[in-house]
């Protein structure tokens, strides 16, 4: 997942070839993601919006959870992600229950009060004002409807086989860079967002906010898809020139994951751990209270159902 060149980054900080990356990420954590959706206990027959659906990787899990009477609307600002999502669903049993549309999270192409659940995975890290966005999304929920946000928090990541002081330098350098990179023309990104989500939902006006954590642990020997995931993450930590990290540390770090002979994957002590956050809240606020002027701040997108020839 090399994202060194700003030209290859779209408006929300994703490299344009990110679909492959998202698939790798999804497959490598398939077990935990299945459990996350199971634990949500989504209502059979309900209407779920997958906000920032990307290439539609969560759709099969959501469709299974809400059953054949339920409906899913996937929205995203990336046309290539939507086309991929639509293609993925064409021959699936749930194809008639799913639609994909191009829209911003803050300006969903549905009536206010229409959605039973809005689910959004791995998107909050790109939101520069998550409280305002979550509040704007509440308008689209039925009274008592739930917003569910799933995201990462790299403050929880550890590699047991990597020198702890090197790890600490790399993580601190990236965290510092994330605070400053916007001024250098990069899009907003907060890869430490997971543990902040509950506070954001409360500040946005949600009630009964619940946080559930998923401890992702993988040991030697790593399955290939997880090795690819870890290599992508390792490369990403030092992308964009890693301005707050010494060159020597960049070299040592990359060697840990890419050296043909001395990489950490070959060590039988290898252990990777990371905690992911799933936070939900109920919306009871009157729609007018949080009817902030998002549409004025966010240029409106044409609401288009993408029809892909097969």
Ligand X SMILES: C[S@@+](CC[C@H](N)C(=O)[O-])C[C@H]1O[C@@H](n2cnc3c(N)ncnc32)[C@H](O)[C@@H]1O
What is the contact surface with ligand X in residues (CB under 6 A)?
Answer: 12, 14, 22, 26, 52-54, 57, 76-78, 81, 104-105, 121-123, 126
CB of 209 to ligand X, least distance (A): 21
Write down the least CB distance from residue 298 to ligand X, Å: 7
Cα 27 from Cα 214, distance rounded (Å):
16
Calpha distance 120→97 (Å, rounded): 18
Could you tell me the smallest distance in angstroms from the CB atom of residue 269 to ligand X? 31
Q: How far apart are CA 239 and CA 237, in angstroms?
A: 6
Q: How far is the CB of 130 from ligand X (least distance, A)?
A: 10
Q: Residues 147, 210: contact at Cβ < 8 Å?
A: no
Minimum distance of ligand X from residue 33's CB (angstroms): 8
Where residue 144 falls (left for φ over 0; alpha for ψ -120 to 50; beta otherwise) is left
Q: Closer CB to ligand X, residue 120 or residue 167?
A: 120
Looking at residue 305, the DSSP 8-state letter turns out to be: B
- 191 contact partners, CB below 8 Å, separation of at least 6: 125, 152, 153, 154, 174, 178
User: Which is nearer to ligand X, 81 or 157 (by Cβ)?
Assistant: 81
For residues 85 and 78, the answer to whether their CB atoms sit within 8 Å is: no
Q: Taking the CB of residue 293, how many other CB atoms lie within 10 A of it? A: 9
When the beta carbons of 121 and 264 are compared against ligand X, the nearer one is 121
Q: Which is nearer to ligand X, 12 or 66 (CB)?
A: 12
Residue nearer to ligand X on the CB measure, 98 or 105 = 105
């Amino acid at each position: 997942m090399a994202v060194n060149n700003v030209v290859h980054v779209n408006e929300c900080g994703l490299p344009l070839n990110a679909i492959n990356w998202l698939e790798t990420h999804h497959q490598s954590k398939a077990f935990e993601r299945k459990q996350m959706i199971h634990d949500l206990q989504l209502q059979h027959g309900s209407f779920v919006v997958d906000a920032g659906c990307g290439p539609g990787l969560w759709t099969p899990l959501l469709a299974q959870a809400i059953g054949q009477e339920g409906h899913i609307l996937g929205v995203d600002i990336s046309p290539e992600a939507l086309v991929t999502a639509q293609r993925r669903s064409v021959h699936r049993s749930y194809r008639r229950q799913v639609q994909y549309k191009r829209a911003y999270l803050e300006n969903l192409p549905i009536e206010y009060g229409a959605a039973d659940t809005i689910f959004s995975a791995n998107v909050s890290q790109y939101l520069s004002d998550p409280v305002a966005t979550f509040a704007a999304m509440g308008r689209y929920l039925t009274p008592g409807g739930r917003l569910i946000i799933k995201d990462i928090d790299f403050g929880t990541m550890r590699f047991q086989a990597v020198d702890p002081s090197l790890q600490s330098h790399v993580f601190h350098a990236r965290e510092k860079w994330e605070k400053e990179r916007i001024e250098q023309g990069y899009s907003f990104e907060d890869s430490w967002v997971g543990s902040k989500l509950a506070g954001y939902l409360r500040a946005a006006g949600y009630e009964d906010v619940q946080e559930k954590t998923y401890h992702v642990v993988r040991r030697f020997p790593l399955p290939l898809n997880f090795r690819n995931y870890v290599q992508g993450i390792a490369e990403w930590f030092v992308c964009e020139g890693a301005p707050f990290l010494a060159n020597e540390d960049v070299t040592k770090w990359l060697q840990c994951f890419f050296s043909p002979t001395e990489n950490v994957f070959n060590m039988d002590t290898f252990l990777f751990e990371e905690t992911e956050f799933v936070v939900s809240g109920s919306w009871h606020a009157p729609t007018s209270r949080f009817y902030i002027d998002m549409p004025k701040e966010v240029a409106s997108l044409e609401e288009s159902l993408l029809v892909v020839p097969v």
